[in-house]
Amino acid sequence: MFVLLRHLARVRREAALPSRRGSRSVAIRHVDAGSCNACEHELTATAAPQYDLQRFGLDLVASPRHADLLLVTGAVTTRMETALLRAYEAMPEPRRVAALGDCAMGCGVLATASELARPLDELLPVDIRIPGCPPTPEQIAEAILAETPPR
């Protein structure tokens, strides 16, 4: 057990995530607006023990009513547009929006134009952009931590 904990501490050091600048925690509501699921796999890895976003006060939550940050993956499809806007409307102020991956940033590599709603930044005010196809857990964690204002 001790060996396992020591190994885990070394892995975390090697991940070299930036240190937390403040004590404010951030509740993140993730919405898949039409992705291929690879962005979700990387997001899941970000919350796993190797990167462990929770130690920085970042937590994925199940309800937008508890969220500070709406984290969107995928190009916004017509089927997901209403659900995405409802999730945003349910969030308390102040609320922020992050686009995770090239699709959420409007590259349109998935689906055809007839299946897509407007680009995310025409639907919602995007505060954080995380490029990549998909971005790595390090890129996701660094972008959220860098753009999350300390209390």
Q: Which is nearer to ligand SF4, 46 or 73 (CB)?
A: 73
> From the CB of 130, what's the least distance to ligand SF4, in Å?
10
Task: Name the burial class of residue 90, with classes exposed (0-12), middle (13-18) and buried (19+) by CB atoms within 10 angstroms of its CB.
Answer: middle
> From the CB of 139, what's the least distance to ligand SF4, in Å?
12
36: left (phi over 0), alpha (psi -120 to 50) or beta: alpha
List residues binding ligand SF4 (CB under 6 A): 35-36, 38-39, 73-74, 101-103, 109-110, 133-134
- Residue 15 φ/ψ, nearest 5 degrees: -65, -25
Q: Which is nearer to ligand SF4, 119 or 134 (CB)?
A: 134
Strands 26-32 and 69-73: parallel
> From the CB of 39, what's the least distance to ligand SF4, in Å?
4
